[in-house]
Amino acid sequence: MENDRYWLVKTEPEAFSWQQLVKDGKTAWDGVRNYLARNHLQAMQQGDLVLVYHSNTGKEIVGIARVIRTAYPDASAGDDPRWVCVDLAPVCALKQPVILKQMKEIPALHDLMLIRQGRLSVMPVSELHFHLILQLAETPHP
């Protein structure tokens, strides 16, 4: 997985939104309590680009962030050494949010992990998928 440069993270905007990330300038992406998602956090490298997805409310990818600090112990996990977080900073908002429904309608995105494994909160995104999503973000919704 050393060639993964692109990721997607989910957040419930009621808990922590893209707008909050922009306001704060950076954030510790903590609170992940799933081993697979944790492994993905650990694989992130400085400078990797991260799509930010709003679950529940919106169900859309709203912006791009960048990894500014690689995995370190998640303070929100107390003394539990299993969990880590990374620091993310906003890069830019998508011109048009890319909604889940739209992505589901595109066959080339059917093996995107967001579609295939709905509950995973941190996942790799292939370069192809990443660029496809950026293209969709340039295209106004019908």
Partner DNA sequence: GCCAACGTTGGC
Q: Which two tokens stand for residue 108?
A: 């080339």
Closest CB to DNA among residues 42, 46: 42
**Partners of residue 60 on adjacent β-strands:** 54, 99
d(CA 105, CA 101): 6
Q: How far is the CB of 120 from DNA (least distance, A)?
A: 7
Closest CB to DNA among residues 28, 99: 99
Enumerate binding residues for DNA (CB under 7 A): 10, 12, 34-36, 55-56, 59, 100-101, 104, 116-121
Q: How far is the CB of 31 from DNA (least distance, A)?
A: 8
Terminal CA-to-CA distance of the chain, rounded, Å? 36
Q: How far is the CB of 36 from DNA (least distance, A)?
A: 6
